[in-house]
Each structure stands twice: as structure tokens, then as C-alpha cells.
Structure 1
Amino acid sequence: MRANYRMQRLYVTAALAAGAGFEATPEQFNYLANVLRFEDGAEVLVFNGRHGEWRATVSFPTRKRILLTPVEETRPQPADCDLHFLFAPLKVGRMDYLIQKAVEMGAGILQPVITQHVQGKIGNIERLQANAVEAAEQCGVLAIPTVRPTVKLKDMLERWPSQRRIIYCDEDASTQNPLPALAAITERSLALLVGPEGGFSDEERQLLRSLPFVTAIPLGPRILRADTAAVAAMAVVQAAIGDWR
């Protein structure tokens, strides 16, 4: 069912069921009452990543409280997104963009990975998670991806489950077309790995190429920034072997 982009959407943590009202958080109260200036009887779409999306009514039991009451389900909860997005941290502004686009493109897990040439850093996982929630609110996504704690590339690869194939963007690939390499992949459980601005080191590239559960793909004839490469790679993976088919 197509998302309704004319109504405001709000992520909540409460269980959602018809008639089961719950109180808005102080932050949600400020947004609904002071920013949007909602009054009694206004309607908003709410979702929690578990119980689908619901149309809910807004009421003010007191001047300082808002009660949200689900009325009817507008979209059922879809299956969780199975694409894992593994990325080297970028600087803050571009990191926000990267998280937003990963959510829009259907990533189910967001995994920061420390590489040898990494330029950014992860200071606060909760901030990235909040950014993912905000992106879901804005673009109609119902499944909220989980942001995992930062891990070093080598440590991650040593513990990686071999049944989930990693696809990584290799700027030194001998071809420019990613489709033949993607067409050869038979696994349905996938992860996409995008390196830092400076690219993977020779040691990291050698390690990745030595692993049987890793596939390298090129991204065409142009040099792409890391955040651009991430969006391009997610698009081609989803279109070729992901959930766009």
C-alpha cells in the first residue's frame, strides 16, 4: 500500500492497536503542539517498526499533555529489510546524508566500520539511530534499521557469517560494469561494504579479495565520493539482486 505523504508521520515506541491510547513524549508534545500547532481532533500517522502504520487522533487531556489514540491501520508492517549496510564513517554532515539515504534505500542494519584510511569517527551511536528514525518518518519507511556499534574491519571479517555475502565497492576493479559480478551471486542474504574517502588500503583490499564470501564490484568509469558511491551501490544492488526485482 502506498504511503500517505500528506499527513505528518511520527515514530513511537508504544504498542499500536485500535483504541489503545498512549501519551506523547515531551519532544513529541513540543513538535505537535508548538511547531505544528495541532488541536483536539487532529490526525497523525504513527508507526513503531513492529505493528504497521496507524492513523491516530490527537487529544489534550491537559494543557501539557497529548494523548495519541490509534484509530485504524493504514499500512501493515512489512518484512524486515535484510540488506546490511557496512560503511566507513564520514564527517558529520555527510554522515547524516549517508544514514538518511541508507534508510531510504532499504538497509536493515547500519554497521559503522573502521578502516585504515577512515577520516570520520562515530561519536554517538544514539545520534545515528535518531537520524535513521527521522529519515524513516520523512520517507514513509516502516521498518527502522538498527545501528550497530562501531567495529574494526578486520575484526568484523573474522567473525562474519559466511552465508551472508559481502559486496564491496572496489575502485581498482578491472571492469566498469557491476552487473556481471552481481548476476553471479546466488545468496539472498547480502551486505554492502563502502570504504572511506581514501579508499581501502592495499592490505585491506588483499584481505577482502581472499575471502570466499566477498564479491568486489566496480561503480562505472567515474570517481565517486564515498556518500555518492554508497547510494549508487545500494541502487544497483537492490535493482539487480535485491528487493527492487
Structure 2
Amino acid sequence: MIRLLVPDDLSGGRPILLADAQARYLVQVMRRGPGDEVLVFNGRDGEWRARIVAAGKRATTLEVVDQTRVQPPPGGIVLVMALVKRTPLETAVAKAVELGVAEIRLVNTERTNADHTRMDRLEAIAAEAAEQTGRLDVPRLQAPAPLSRVLEALAGGGPLVFCDEAGEAPPILAALGGLPKGPLAILVGPEGGFSPAERAGLRARVGTIPVSLGPRILRADTAALSALTLAQAVGGDWTT
């Protein structure tokens, strides 16, 4: 069944007027009309079944019928990723949503090789991935900020798994296996890696756990998805 992310509060009998893009997708692309049903969610109220009551060029309206799934409690893995070029960044965002991250924080580092990104496009990609993958929320997506500021915001929020490609570090599976269940962040650097000063600061930071992702140098998006997959398999929601 088609799933749509909507901003509206959800409860039985409530009408929903779809945004133009969603209305066109539902009526013109998917060929749905009055009487057909879809699933809707907003990241707060769980998932609900809704029925199309009016479908036209100017307006498409749904009526919320009943709840199909309750909203799970918040939590999960935070992906902290250095800003990279558009295609690998968009790939990483889409796949991170599929892998169940709770939040994506973008960071600027000394070797960041991209100076800007379109947050509206990334948010649309994240929303589409959430719709397709069956999750009931869309991860929070934080605009790029200096590494020092992001690290300060994460202080006290659980261990930070630092994917360090340039130094001696235990294999990520060994490190993850020794962590208690709870809040966790994963840090992936830019294509050129972290600078020596950044690496030294990260290794000296309380709560940072340097790890190795193996003998090969991985692209940033590959590194992010590899680390997320292993974290979910060892102690995340793949184990429940």
C-alpha cells in the first residue's frame, strides 16, 4: 500500500488536504481515486489507514480511518558525517534512513571537499526513503556545522564511534561488541580523511572510541553504511 508522510496530526475521522506534489503523485502517477486507501504517518502519531474522499486537479483530500501501528519510542543511532560531494552524500542519507538512524548531523572539517549542500533536497530524499522503507519517522537532519560544535553538542550523549582510517584502532566489530546498549553516534570523515590535528583531538576526547573498518580505504558513503550496518547488527534494532 502507498505510504505518505504528512505534517498533519492524525486521529480517526480527521481530514487531510494533501500538498500539491503528493496529490499529483497519488492521482496522476499512481492512478488512485476516491475510495482507494493509503497509509499515512507523521513521525508522531504512528501509522494510520486513510481513504481518498476527493481527488482532483486542484485538491486531493483524505479521511483518516484507523491506526495500523503505534509510534515507537525515539532513539537509535546518530550518524555524524563530514560534508562530501552531492552524489555520495545523497546516497548516504537515503541508505542511512533505510538502516534506521535517528539523526544525521553533517559536519565541516579541515579537509571537507564540498562547501555547501541543499538541505531541502536532502530532507526530501530522507522523507522518500522513510516512506519506502516502512519506518514511522524521518531522521532529524542537521545542517553542516563545524566539527568542534557538533562534538560539543554530542558530549554526554553516549559513545562516539570514530571511524579512523589513518591510525591503529581495534576492528569495529570488537569495539561495538564491548559497548552497552544505549545512545550511540558514528563519525565518518571526508574523502581526504581527518587532519592530524582533528584526529589527535578526537582521540583525546572523552567518550570517543576509534575503530578500524578494515584494511582498505573506503569512500565516505561506503564507510558510513558499513559502520551503520554493523552497529545495527551487533546492538541495534536488528537484534530485536
> Which is further off, 61-70 or 33-42?
61-70
Deviation at 1:61, TM superposition (A): 6.7
Match of 1:180 in 2: 174
Match of 1:38 in 2: 32
> Which is further off, 92-101 or 155-164?
155-164
> Which is further off, 209-218 or 66-75?
66-75
- Correspondences of 1:24-173 after superposition (within 5 Å): 24-60=18-54, 64-173=58-167
Consecutive unaligned residues in structure 1, runs of 5 or more = 1-6
Secondary structure of the 1:149 match is strand
Letter in 2 for 1:179: L
Match of 1:19 in 2: 13
Secondary structure of the 1:79 match is coil
Runs ≥4 residues deviating over 4 A: none
1:176 and 1:220 in contact (8 A); partners too: no
Distance 1:32 1:61 in 2: 9
Deviation at 1:54, TM superposition (A): 1.3
> Which is further off, 133-142 or 61-70?
61-70
- Structure 1 length as normaliser, TM-score? 0.91
Give deviations 1:47-78, integer Å, cap 9, x for gaps.
11111111111121765211111112222111
CA RMSD of aligned residues (A): 1.8
> Which is further off, 21-30 or 226-235?
21-30
Distance 1:44-1:124 versus aligned 2 partners, 3 A rule: same
- Structure 2 length as normaliser, TM-score? 0.92
1:103 and 1:132 in contact (8 A); partners too: yes
Deviation at 1:219, TM superposition (A): 0.8
Deviation at 1:206, TM superposition (A): 0.5
Consecutive unaligned residues in structure 2, runs of 5 or more = none
Distance 1:114-1:63 versus aligned 2 partners, 3 A rule: closer
Distance 2:60 2:154 in 1: 45
Give deviations 1:107-144, integer Å, cap 9, x for gaps.
11110000111112433322222211111011111121
1:178 and 1:217 in contact (8 A); partners too: yes
Report whether the alignment pairs 1:192 with 2:177. Answer: no
> Which is further off, 184-193 or 39-48?
184-193
> Which is further off, 128-137 or 170-179?
170-179
Distance 1:117 1:225 in 2: 14
Over the matched positions of the two proteins, sequence identity in percent amounts to 39
2:6 and 2:42 in contact (8 A); partners too: yes
Aligned length: 239
